[in-house]
Structure 1
Amino acid sequence: MLFAKTSLSWRDRIMFESSKKNALVSFLIYASFIIFNLSRAGVVQAEETSLHLNARAYLLLDATTGRVLIEKNSQLRLPMASTTKIMTAILALERGDLSSKVTVSRRAASVGGSSFHLMVGETMSLENMLYGLLLPSGNDAAIAIAEHIGGDVETFVEMMNRKAREIGAENTSFKNPHGLDEPGHYTTARDLALITRYALNIPKFREIVGTKDIVITEGKYTRHIYNTNRLLRISETIDGVKTGYTGKAGRCLVATAQKNGFRLISVVLGAQDHFSTSLKLLNYGFENYELKKLVSKDSVYAAVPVRGGIVKKAVVVAGEDIALPLRKKEKIRMNISVFPFTEAPVYKNQVLGEIQIYIDSTFICSAPLVSIYDIRKKSLFDNFYKMIKIWMLGEG
């Protein structure tokens, strides 16, 4: 208990390889697979648990696979206050130079709400500005960053919305980079979980949102800033992410915690007490689910016939581990799909199949099956050598 890449999916690679080799992928390949979808297999609805959480919407998921563990109104469009700044930080980290200097405009210095207390004309590195964005939740820092990255706020907001679509957050609409109430500015608990899951893959983001406090000496005066996420001070297991509050949005919080290699992300929107609600969600996940390793990297699972190769079969192994949080008595099904054959040459780590994991008939995740070694194409010399060997054996 807690106290108090984008790249083609493995399925896309398999279908590409199959087309290239003019071979059909074997049994149980489903065209509907999308690797970054949040899986709803075995989702526990709020009314089915003993949890009594006072929030308009919430969601808890496994950060590794995206499996939703419990939810309520997770598709409901709601304002999200300063959790907006998760997306602002993503764009700054992906498109900006952390050492570049950000100059504070009059527009940035005059914005209301939570503040990093920036002054007009003040300059500061983008890195320090991000600490001001994510720890004290500075709306002024959000505007300054938006202008620095996008040229102006409006262009930056367009970038935010494009990025949301790329990540798969289809029910999200940004109107500003800070999260102050504005018509048409909304997200869902599901979308915010997707955005956060993406952000947590950025090392600098994880570092900043896990910082409890820091002294910033750059700028016109020294600032000692503290993280508004009080859960960071409750347990070392909790290491992020972002608070939010406005009159329309209510109290919001995205939190993450890791225990025994098992990372959970909770999203709470419109809560009466966002800290206790998030803590209950995280505790529920760790108390009711156990991380189990189902697939081990480099374990042998099949062999694929090789046409025209110096070796007749390519041994295939799992390209990565699969570990899932599971409740007791959940039914796991594992499908192994491989090419019926492949043409030489075959290269080490070439994808030749896939392991698919299902829970209650719903797809959860997969791992590639890859060749364990190179197999070169059989040459004329190889054929000649084989003939000589047969002749010599025949003579003997």
Structure 2
Amino acid sequence: MKKLYMKVISSFICLIIMISPIITAKAQAEELNINAMYAIALDSKSKVVLYNKNAYMLVPMASTTKIMTALVALKYGDLDKKIEISSKSAGIHGSTVGYKKNEQITLKELIFGLMLRSGNDAAIAIAEGIGGDVEGFAKLMNEYSAQIGLCNTHFQSPHGLDSDEHYTSAYDLALVTAKAREIPLFNEIVQSKDVDKKTYGFTRDYHNINKILWQLPNASGVKTGFTGKAGKCLVTSVNIKGNDVIIVVLNSSDRWNVTKKINDYVQKKYEYKKLFSKGDIVSEITICDKSSEKVRLYTDEDIILPVRSDASYHVQIVKPKSVIKGGIKKDDKLGSLCVLKDNEAIYTISLKAKDSCKSHKFIKNIY
């Protein structure tokens, strides 16, 4: 029996707390008719899905690929490094900036050319400058995509021209964009409408071809795309009630208006509610020994989620039924908080121990 105390038991104690207001009857999901094959709206911070149409299907992504290209370049590259434009870069077809062979362009300028002009030549130059060649850079892209949790994505190029082994899903593309949005320089680049070369010491001026920046007042980027297989694509970041929302629209002949329609839908249907503040004690566990020692559980960040008035939400606290050998140390991850919408999990975060405890005994089953 003593050995049993030292093990982690896989069963859980679940505490259900109602979030007000609660609508007892489940509301039927309202259909939003859009002219797009695939689409999603994702809250950037919580990763809660606000709208979904075929968002998990594998599809071509065209130049929205360049969001990941920029992300990898910002992670691994030296922004001041000058990269020589190769014949392969200068000769690539499709959308280009117009870089000439043997030009020396800084990585920072190439990223501006990549995102504002959708330059395939910039994409090749970045790949060669960081990865040695396109294949080496694609390997970096795939490795990093796995690190940030993409499950349905594979990159074969930095530009996104059609190829059989180059695909993503609207959901994965939204996750990539949310990750990129954590970088201030990325945001500065994608929200720029026009860039004067004198401002950054660039070789040329840049005008952003992303029309959504002019058409949607709360938009702050991000990237257009088009190929024969992918159709017209658009990834947009929008400010909704002070929160960052990513809208992805793929294979849509009316991508600008579809994006606006989804933006309006989210604005109308969702409010943001603060459930807990950073440092709040969310629950506690009681150790079943002579001392009946208690360990408090807290969240180390604010929990602010988008919620609908016509849906039912619950908070579920998941606690282990035994303590790991060695006891509990302050700030150890211990259990989790899960938010359910109409009995479907939409958000999970780890909880931490506010107190230390050396006991190995079972935790008392208190609800």
Partner Cα distance (1:355, 1:221) in 2? 48
Which residue of structure 1 aligns with residue 349 of structure 2?
367
Please say if residues 82 and 179 of structure 1, whose CA atoms lie closer than 8 Å, have aligned partners that are also in contact: yes
Partner Cα distance (2:77, 2:27) in 1? 38
Q: Which range moved further: 301-310 or 326-335?
A: 301-310
Residue 88 in structure 1 maps to residue 69 in structure 2: yes
Which residue of structure 2 aligns with residue 32 of structure 1?
none
Q: Match of 1:229, as an amino acid?
A: N
Which residue of structure 2 aligns with residue 125 of structure 1?
106
Which residue of structure 2 aligns with residue 75 of structure 1?
56
Q: Match of 1:368, as an amino acid?
A: S
CA 124–267 in structure 1, closer or farther in 2 if over 3 Å, else same? same
Aligned residue among 335, 353, 356 for 1:353 = 335
Q: Match of 2:12, as an amino acid?
A: F
Which residue of structure 2 aligns with residue 182 of structure 1?
163
Which residue of structure 2 aligns with residue 136 of structure 1?
117
Partner Cα distance (1:219, 1:328) in 2? 47
Shift of 1:151: 0.3
Q: Match of 2:242, as an amino acid?
A: G
Which residue of structure 2 aligns with residue 290 of structure 1?
271
Please say if residues 197 and 203 of structure 2, whose CA atoms lie closer than 8 Å, have aligned partners that are also in contact: yes
Shift of 1:92: 0.8
Q: Tell me, what secondary structure is at the counterpart of 1:129?
A: helix
CA 250–185 in structure 1, closer or farther in 2 if over 3 Å, else same? same
List aligned pairs for 1:22-171, cutoff 5 A: 22-24=7-9, 27-28=12-13, 48-49=30-31, 51-171=32-152
Partner Cα distance (2:133, 2:248) in 1? 30
Please say if residues 13 and 320 of structure 2, whose CA atoms lie closer than 8 Å, have aligned partners that are also in contact: no
Partner Cα distance (1:316, 1:154) in 2? 47
List aligned pairs for 1:6-21, cutoff 5 A: none
Which residue of structure 2 aligns with residue 277 of structure 1?
258
Shift of 1:305: 4.0
Partner Cα distance (1:171, 1:300) in 2? 37
Which residue of structure 1 aligns with residue 19 of structure 2?
none
Aligned residues: 344
Partner Cα distance (2:167, 2:303) in 1? 34
What is the aligned-residue identity percentage? 39
Q: Which range moved further: 82-91 or 299-308?
A: 299-308
CA 351–52 in structure 1, closer or farther in 2 if over 3 Å, else same? closer
Please say if residues 292 and 324 of structure 1, whose CA atoms lie closer than 8 Å, have aligned partners that are also in contact: yes
CA 372–167 in structure 1, closer or farther in 2 if over 3 Å, else same? closer
Aligned residue among 244, 254, 263 for 1:263 = 244
Partner Cα distance (2:63, 2:141) in 1? 14
CA RMSD of aligned residues (A): 3.2
Q: Tell me, what secondary structure is at the counterpart of 2:334?
A: strand
Please say if residues 336 and 353 of structure 1, whose CA atoms lie closer than 8 Å, have aligned partners that are also in contact: yes
Q: Match of 1:365, as an amino acid?
A: Y
List aligned pairs for 1:267-346, cutoff 5 A: 267-305=248-286, 312-340=293-321, 342=323
What TM-score comes out, normalization by structure 1 length? 0.77
CA 335–377 in structure 1, closer or farther in 2 if over 3 Å, else same? closer
Which residue of structure 1 aligns with residue 23 of structure 2?
none
Kindly indicate whether structure 1 or structure 2 has the higher relative contact order, using CA contacts under 8 Å at least 6 residues apart: 2
CA 62–129 in structure 1, closer or farther in 2 if over 3 Å, else same? same
Q: Deviations over 1:30-63 (max 9, x none)?
A: xxxxxxxxxxxx9987xx42x4322222122222
Shift of 1:274: 1.3
Please say if residues 78 and 188 of structure 1, whose CA atoms lie closer than 8 Å, have aligned partners that are also in contact: yes
Q: Deviations over 1:342-392 (max 9, x none)?
A: 58875442333322211122112223332335x4879xxxxxxxxxxxxxx
Partner Cα distance (1:204, 1:363) in 2? 33
Please say if residues 128 and 216 of structure 1, whose CA atoms lie closer than 8 Å, have aligned partners that are also in contact: no
Q: Tell me, what secondary structure is at the counterpart of 1:146?
A: helix
Shift of 1:306: 6.0
For structure 2, the 5+ residue unaligned runs are 15-25, 360-367
For structure 1, the 5+ residue unaligned runs are 1-18, 30-41, 379-396
Higher helix share: 1
Q: Tell me, what secondary structure is at the counterpart of 2:70?
A: helix
CA 101–309 in structure 1, closer or farther in 2 if over 3 Å, else same? farther
What TM-score comes out, normalization by structure 2 length? 0.82
Partner Cα distance (2:296, 2:12) in 1? 18
